Structure 1
């Protein structure tokens, strides 16, 4: 009853005040008829509060979001299924779902006729132009009496995540360079002729095929271990994204960092579709969840886009290079860079030395502040260091910049007198003649 009285609305408090005033005036003026009116006006909100407070309503909520992984700018549908499991009917339900402001205004619904076994579903759409991971919920339910005098609130604790990935654009096939040792234009091929010595195990990671679990090693170690056959001809690519604060300009969705993230997402999707096993590395280093995995393009693209959806600017001056010391880091390297200064040159030179082929898309961050201030110095500096690099400005289309990167590869090959070789088809499990197995 105390909780119900605290839930009196403005109308209910006005009725209480009017009833008490009428009773006092009736006593002072000696008007018994006025006192009866005052008692009636005062009793109405009190009786409503008694019944609302004594009602035992049990509501069950099931929330579904479809899909839970969307691209920025695309809508998602949220379905709320409510069921009254209590035996006593309730009054009017005011339903409100809590949303982050980037997903839109909070949806509100008014539901009536709530009895035993009552079931109702409501659906609304959300949309975000900002990438990120957002929590939808919790739902707030307010029960209101038919007169609008008392209103009690309840809140569900459950929430559902929604991941908004960066926008991507389709990219054309360009020569990526590299060799057979994990970085060429060839697609991954299973190495079926290896012996038992060619089999290694590693810790299980999310997304690995359960059929590759090595149970004997798992029983010995005490945790799941995955069998991984060494694949000398596997095409591996490292996607590096410079997300430092000092390397970018602008704020919000119009910043140069958002353009870099969108470019990295497009490149990740493109490389996965071309058969590359892609890992993501940022300025903070490599995350084990985004390491190389033996899975197809669709399963590999999802975790990469989810990781890029939550990339945040890092307040650190230098790049982490711990991932360069790992074995197998000599594949294709595609870097999406921002502002580059002289302190980054030794690190970029080292990154080029650890890769079979190094490509760079340099975001012209100065042009984000002023179109007249844009320059191509960083791209030219990387070209002098042996990188194949192009510059990306705010008015440039990523598809055209990617094509320019391919044309520069062709021009450099012709200048060296190298004729691009035709694609060679190698049967599964076969080793090209004259090549040895490491």
Structure 2
């Protein structure tokens, strides 16, 4: 609760008038002081009344690509039974404030406001909470309260269609590694029997030994497994415009395009960050949400070597896509060390002043100014 400048002045005047009126026996001044004090007291009581409001928000849609339209529908309902609400309200949308009319909102009635959500930048746009300010008729006291929570709108990077996907590497039965688009079903592990499993997949010898039914789990080893690594170190993107690194935004668009192309083809794909956040973004569902929330971080000198060590030890796939900016050119040697663990390694370099020399660190490097150029160069790759 805050007393306005007018309220402070009237309160000071009430004290002065009461003091002078009683000290020098001027009843008129004492009456004026008492009236001023009563006005301030009424204002405090009036502003302290808490209206009963129910706030609902619906994002349409709540996940969009950068630049696509999105809207928020806000419904405010007066759930009180006695008094109409005369309020000044504003809904917070990112850094902007949207006025919400709540004049003479009668009990049981509601009002609805629909406004556009800014999607010109990638990120997670937090909408809400509703800030309601109640004032007395004289403008002496103002009290602001928050109603409802916040609803995120996930603004994903732009998606550029990719027609080509890696063919993958299949492991044949005699130990050879062949680059083939399709392969046979190969034994991977044993697991417990569940209702619905085919009896022909039961491994009877193991079942007899452990005393319960065990079935063979098979995998298609020719199916390519794609690993997308996005370099989110601030040092990799030294060029900034109005605090934003467009080359990093291009890297996010390329990562999203590869992920969407892999999902479209039914290929397993995983997304890694060179400098991962301590916690996953709340409410994130899938790699596109992670790309919407990812930010540049200072990290440390050992961030990239640690990521490379993890990739080498875990061997998360057979096709590695490493996306970085002009500041990551000096670190291509670390990425080149992964050629033994990953049959195919492709590097996307964004925003470099000069093209990368052919065969740098023995890698296939795609130099691109933005995500659209990366998609065009990607589709031009003849072999992985």
Q: How much has 1:400 moved relative to structure 2?
A: 4.3
1:57 aligns with 2:51: yes
Whole-angstrom CA distance in 2 between matches of 1:361 and 1:178: 19
Query: Does the 8 Å CA contact 1:239/1:279 hold for their aligned counterparts?
Result: yes
What residue number does 2:323 align with?
Answer: 336
What residue number does 2:234 align with?
Answer: 245
What residue number does 1:375 align with?
Answer: 354
What residue number does 1:277 align with?
Answer: 268
1:382-421 alignment, distance < 5 Å: 382=360, 385=362, 387-393=363-369, 398-409=371-382
What's the secondary structure of 1:271's corresponding residue? Answer: helix
Residues 389 and 310 of structure 1, relative CA distance in 2, 3 Å threshold: same
Q: TM-score, normalised by structure 2?
A: 0.73
Q: How much has 1:279 moved relative to structure 2?
A: 0.8
2:223 aligns with one of 234, 237, 248: 234
What residue number does 2:312 align with?
Answer: 324
Query: Does the 8 Å CA contact 2:166/2:224 hold for their aligned counterparts?
Result: no
Q: Return 5+ residue gaps in structure 1 as ranges.
A: 1-5, 202-210, 213-226, 290-300, 366-373, 413-438
1:46 aligns with one of 38, 41, 44: 41
Q: If each structure's helix is expressed as a fraction of its own residues, which one has the higher value? A: 1
1:141 aligns with 2:165: no
What's the secondary structure of 2:117's corresponding residue? Answer: strand
Residues 144 and 228 of structure 1, relative CA distance in 2, 3 Å threshold: farther
Whole-angstrom CA distance in 2 between matches of 1:119 and 1:29: 55
Whole-angstrom CA distance in 1 between matches of 2:70 and 2:165: 37
1:358 aligns with one of 342, 345, 353: 345
Per-residue deviation, residues 280-336 of structure 1 (Å, max 9, x unmatched): 1222479998xxxxxxxxxxx96111111222334233331213322563x222222
Query: Does the 8 Å CA contact 2:225/2:269 hold for their aligned counterparts?
Result: yes
What's the secondary structure of 2:143's corresponding residue? Answer: strand
Q: How much has 1:269 moved relative to structure 2?
A: 1.8
Q: How much has 1:236 moved relative to structure 2?
A: 1.9
Query: Does the 8 Å CA contact 1:176/1:185 hold for their aligned counterparts?
Result: no
What's the secondary structure of 2:232's corresponding residue? Answer: coil
Q: RMSD in angstroms over aligned alpha carbons?
A: 4.1
Per-residue deviation, residues 248-292 of structure 1 (Å, max 9, x unmatched): 221243442222222222222223223322111222479998xxx
Whole-angstrom CA distance in 2 between matches of 1:253 and 1:230: 43
Residues 156 and 277 of structure 1, relative CA distance in 2, 3 Å threshold: same
What residue number does 1:174 align with?
Answer: 164
Whole-angstrom CA distance in 2 between matches of 1:228 and 1:159: 44
Residues 168 and 247 of structure 1, relative CA distance in 2, 3 Å threshold: same
1:93 aligns with 2:77: no
1:130-279 alignment, distance < 5 Å: 130-156=121-147, 158-171=149-162, 173-174=163-164, 176-180=166-170, 186=181, 198=189, 200=191, 229-251=218-240, 252-279=243-270
* Count of aligned positions: 348
What's the secondary structure of 1:113's corresponding residue? Answer: strand
Per-residue deviation, residues 344-373 of structure 1 (Å, max 9, x unmatched): 41x3233222223332222243xxxxxxxx
What's the secondary structure of 1:93's corresponding residue? Answer: strand
What's the secondary structure of 1:305's corresponding residue? Answer: helix
Q: Which moved more, 1:8-17 or 1:351-360?
A: 8-17
What's the secondary structure of 1:230's corresponding residue? Answer: strand
Q: If each structure's strand is expressed as a fraction of its own residues, which one has the higher value? A: 2
1:118 aligns with 2:109: yes
Whole-angstrom CA distance in 2 between matches of 1:37 and 1:183: 97
What residue number does 2:295 align with?
Answer: 312
Q: How much has 1:391 moved relative to structure 2?
A: 1.1
1:25-36 alignment, distance < 5 Å: none
Whole-angstrom CA distance in 2 between matches of 1:152 and 1:163: 32
Q: How much has 1:406 moved relative to structure 2?
A: 4.3
Per-residue deviation, residues 157-194 of structure 1 (Å, max 9, x unmatched): 622223222222223x236444345997848x995xx7
Whole-angstrom CA distance in 1 between matches of 2:113 and 2:190: 53
What's the secondary structure of 2:347's corresponding residue? Answer: strand
